[in-house]
Amino acid sequence: MTHQTLKEEPVKRRIAVAAGLAAALLGTAACGGSDSGDDSSAALDGKGKTLKVWLMVDAQSSWKEIVDDANARFTAATGASVSVEYQQWANHLTKLDATLAGNDVPDVIELGNTEMPKYVFSGAFGELDKATFDNSANWLKGLSGPCELDGKTYCVPYYAGARVLIYRTDLFDASGVKPPTSYSELTAAADTLKAKNGSNNKFAAFYMPGAYWYAAMSWVYAEGGQIAKKDGDKWVGTLAEPTAQAGLTKWADVVKKYSSGDITKDENDQAAIFAQGQAAMFYGNGWEAGAAQEQRKDPNDPNSELVATKVKGKVASAPLPGIPSFLGSSNLGVASKSKNQALAAEWIKTFTDTKAQEALLGKGVLPNATNLLDKAATVKGNEATALAAKSSWFVPMAEKWADVEKAGVLQQMLRDIVTGKRSVADATMWADTEIAKILNG
């Protein structure tokens, strides 16, 4: 469908363009950032006020110091203090709905870009003045698209993520395997690793949980398939088409042949499972390479020290050859019921300014603007993510797409396939019906 290519194409093109522009753009952007920050903060007095911010757990596990730094700068500029509450992906929307129905709401809310349209449409977010944010002229379209409605802006892109192959360098060396550059090399590498470590029944040459739909759909898009398309004014599920089925079959082979562990799980645990040292590869967000190597000593205390896991120093990442990545991102909005609209916008300004974005580049994530992208590719540990983003896909741009995720249609289909409850053909037929029912409902 046209929307989809519109969202995706500029990203690819802009990475190329950005690569040519280099430092000049970055310089001006950085200047612009500090100017706008000084102007507005002078007018804001937040003394005695506390701003409530809901961020997702990734910020807590992988770049908490960037949050702390932004908070410190914000407090110094406005006098308001900040209370950050970290949310879990599993239940954050339910919690958000209940909270937004009341009056004591968080001022700043982070949502995934696939979740955003429904909330913007339902009036959950207040309007923002786009021009006041750093690099807003260069925001990645795939990220800022869901923020816009009727020419107004309701949220700010925060970061993007592309998924990469994360692997154990020591196991690769021991088996004489090199990072694969094609899909056939990937399966050959997995075969070699599996043969070499066959005595360990917990070993996974390629850890792939069975309900990991971002991964499975990447295989679908690799074969030229897609999830759904718009036919006239109706949505039609397209997973039962031969290309999509071929992709799913190929993906299910990875689960059955190379993975171990609970095939009904989704990807939430994968970095922790990889950290146990029983897997040679997994497919994760760039920053999960870091999360697999260091974990909080006390998982319930975000301030506890980071301790090295068994795989520390033995992990590297590379683009997964032949498989396009889902371009996921997170956006930040100000709740329309917030009593601190100006302060909340100011906090977002601080947290998404060029300084914070550049700090994020070191964490294996992609920045929110095209002019920062070429820099991302030069940061050590981030090359793979920036490369992976060049070939990407995105979910159908339908207002009700978030409900498909909520209903767990794709996860159910995948579990049915990997557990053998339904054949690929039957499972995809079922999923197509459900997806069409929800998107057209």
Partner 1 sequence: MLLALPTLVLLAGLLAYPLGRMLVLSFQDMELRHLFSGSTPPWAGLDNYTEILTDGEFWAVVRRTTIFTVVSVAVSVVLGLAVALLMLRVNRPVRLAMVISMLFVWAIPQLVSAQIFKWMVDADFGVVNHVIDQIPGVDFANHSWFADPTQGWIVITTLVVWAGVPFLAITLHAGLTQVPRDLLEAATVDGASGWQALRSITLPILKPLVVIVTTLSVIWNFGLFTQVWVVRDSKPEQDYQTLATYAFTQAFGRNNYSLGAAISVITVLLMLGVMAFYIRQMFRIGDVD
Candidates 27-35, 65-73, 97-105, 129-137: pick the segment binding partner 1 (CB under 8 A).
97-105
Candidate list 14, 73, 118, 163; residue touching partner 1; CB under 8 A:
118
123 or 198: whose CB is closer to partner 1? Answer: 123
Q: Report d(CA 127, CA 134) in Å as an integer.
A: 17
Q: What is the DSSP letter of 305?
A: P
- Strand ranges for 350-391 from DSSP E: none
Q: Which strand (E) or helix (H) includes residue 228? A: strand 228-231
Q: Which two tokens stand for residue 329?
A: 């991102």
Candidates 56-64, 68-76, 356-364, 405-413: pick the segment binding partner 1 (CB under 8 A).
405-413
Q: How many residues bind partner 1 (CB under 8 A)?
A: 38
Candidate list 11, 59, 100, 280; residue touching partner 1; CB under 8 A:
100
196 binds partner 1 (CB under 8 A): no
Q: How far is the CB of 4 from partner 1 (least distance, A)?
A: 23
172 binds partner 1 (CB under 8 A): no
Candidate list 136, 218, 412, 428; residue touching partner 1; CB under 8 A:
412
201 binds partner 1 (CB under 8 A): yes
Q: Which strand (E) or helix (H) includes residue 243? A: helix 242-258
Q: Report d(CA 169, CA 37) in Å as an integer.
A: 43
Q: How far is the CB of 314 from partner 1 (least distance, A)?
A: 20
User: CB–CB of 431/425 below 8 Å?
Assistant: no
351 or 401: whose CB is closer to partner 1? Answer: 401
Q: What is the DSSP letter of 147?
A: G
257 binds partner 1 (CB under 8 A): no
2 binds partner 1 (CB under 8 A): no
Q: Report d(CA 287, CA 360) in Å as an integer.
A: 10
Q: How far is the CB of 149 from partner 1 (least distance, A)?
A: 12
231 or 269: whose CB is closer to partner 1? Answer: 269
440 binds partner 1 (CB under 8 A): no
Q: How far is the CB of 429 from partner 1 (least distance, A)?
A: 15
310 binds partner 1 (CB under 8 A): no
336 binds partner 1 (CB under 8 A): yes
408 binds partner 1 (CB under 8 A): yes
Interaction with partner 1 in 264-303: which residues (CB under 8 A)? 264-266, 268-269, 273, 276
Candidate list 169, 184, 419, 433; residue touching partner 1; CB under 8 A:
419
264: closest CA among 133, 156, 408? 408
Candidate list 35, 45, 97, 173; residue touching partner 1; CB under 8 A:
97
Half-sphere exposure of 68 (CA within 13 A, CB side): 8
Q: Measured between alpha carbons, how far is residue 53 from residues 98, 111, 140, 282, 345 in Å?
A: 16, 12, 23, 32, 11
Q: How far is the CB of 122 from partner 1 (least distance, A)?
A: 4
311 binds partner 1 (CB under 8 A): no
Q: What is the DSSP letter of 132?
A: G
- Strand ranges for 27-98 from DSSP E: 50-56, 81-87
Give the residues across from 165 on adjacent strands: 283, 318
135: closest CA among 411, 419, 360, 325? 360
131: closest CA among 139, 140, 121? 139
266 or 288: whose CB is closer to partner 1? Answer: 266
Q: How far apart are the first and last CA of the chain?
A: 19
260 binds partner 1 (CB under 8 A): yes
419: closest CA among 254, 210, 249? 210
User: CB–CB of 108/78 below 8 Å?
Assistant: no
182 binds partner 1 (CB under 8 A): no
Q: How far is the CB of 399 from partner 1 (least distance, A)?
A: 11
198 binds partner 1 (CB under 8 A): no
Compute the Cα dihedral for 273, 414, 111, 357 and give only its sign: positive
406 binds partner 1 (CB under 8 A): yes
Q: Report d(CA 115, CA 43) in Å as an integer.
A: 33
Binding site for partner 1 (CB under 8 A): 90-91, 93-94, 97-98, 100-101, 118-119, 121-124, 201-202, 260-266, 268-269, 273, 276, 336-337, 403, 406-408, 411-412, 415, 419, 438
